[in-house]
Amino acid sequence: MRLFVRHRSEYSFSQPQARLVQLLRLTPRDHAGQSVVSWWIDVDRDARLKPMRDGYGNQATMLYIDGPIDRITLDVTGEVLTEDRAGMVIGAPEPLPPSYFLQDTPLTKADAAIQAIATADTDGGSGLDRAHLLADTIAEALDHQPTAIAADHDAIACFAAKAADPQGAAHVLIAAARAAGFPARYVAGHVYRPEAIDSHAAHGWAELFIEGYGWIGFDPSEGRCPTDNYIRVAIGLDHREAAPLSGLRTGGGDEALTIDVHVGPEPARD
């Protein structure tokens, strides 16, 4: 499928900022089933952009802007060709072995409730069957919402509330999968939903490492494995490590951030 993406972030500040430094993880890389045709990062003012590759193989960009800054718009536009690989991740850069992704983080800890679900079905057949069962169980256990119900999409809080945004649902699955012995990681990316081509958040899901198959994506918020509707952008132990934008500004006051994401078979208009 040919997918067009536009990820627009608009910041406005209640008072002018002296400087802005941001780490952007907004650029997808090629792998089997995902071929980036074109990709641009545009800033509506003088800015210095520097590419950076992190230890996970993510393509990141450093953004430096001098003030005074009262508002900025950051546009990421691109075109990607995708194929349905039933969620299997093949040919992606994998600097780290799967066992690295067995460790938990503050956002992906498993409490007794998550552990119970992780170990509920131990005689459920192959690793692949168990992973699917786990993902389905978590997808069904949660009430899926477009925006976060817990600060930082914390797995334990989301599972206790039985409600989560995509990031939170991915964290619950990651926590449960690691408790069940699967290496698991967070994936930040985009999804094409014909019913919601325009939305206000980037997407996120989980990948589990299954012996004999490799890394396989599971999207608990959509209750399925990624298809050719999905674009993988960045990975990490949790959402925080793969976050599209992390930044620090110099200057007081408040900020307002609006994000508009377009993912569809046609480019965004306007």
Binding site for other proteins (CB under 8 A): 19, 21-23, 48, 50, 52-56, 62, 64, 95-97, 99-100, 102-103, 236-237, 240-241, 243, 246-248
Nearer to other proteins, 195 or 254 (CB): 254
Q: Give the whole-angstrom CA distance, residue 215 versus residue 90.
A: 8
Q: In 10 A of CB 60, how many CB atoms?
A: 18
Using a 10 angstrom Cβ sphere, with 0-12 exposed, 13-18 middle and 19 or more buried, the burial of residue 141 is middle
Using a 10 angstrom Cβ sphere, with 0-12 exposed, 13-18 middle and 19 or more buried, the burial of residue 87 is buried
Nearer to other proteins, 118 or 237 (CB): 237
**Residue 98 CB, nearest approach to other proteins (Å):** 9
Q: Give the whole-angstrom CA distance, residue 220 versus residue 168.
A: 10
Nearer to other proteins, 40 or 64 (CB): 64
Using a 10 angstrom Cβ sphere, with 0-12 exposed, 13-18 middle and 19 or more buried, the burial of residue 239 is buried
Q: Give the whole-angstrom CA distance, residue 88 versus residue 207.
A: 9
**Residue 81 CB, nearest approach to other proteins (Å):** 28
Nearer to other proteins, 220 or 244 (CB): 244
Nearer to other proteins, 40 or 100 (CB): 100
**Residue 52 CB, nearest approach to other proteins (Å):** 5
**Residue 41 CB, nearest approach to other proteins (Å):** 15
Nearer to other proteins, 22 or 27 (CB): 22
**Residue 197 CB, nearest approach to other proteins (Å):** 30
DSSP per residue, 31-78: BTTEEEEEEEEEESS--EEEEEE-TT--EEEEEEEEEEEEEEEEEEEE
**Residue 163 CB, nearest approach to other proteins (Å):** 23
- The alpha-carbon radius of gyration of the chain (Å, integer) is 19
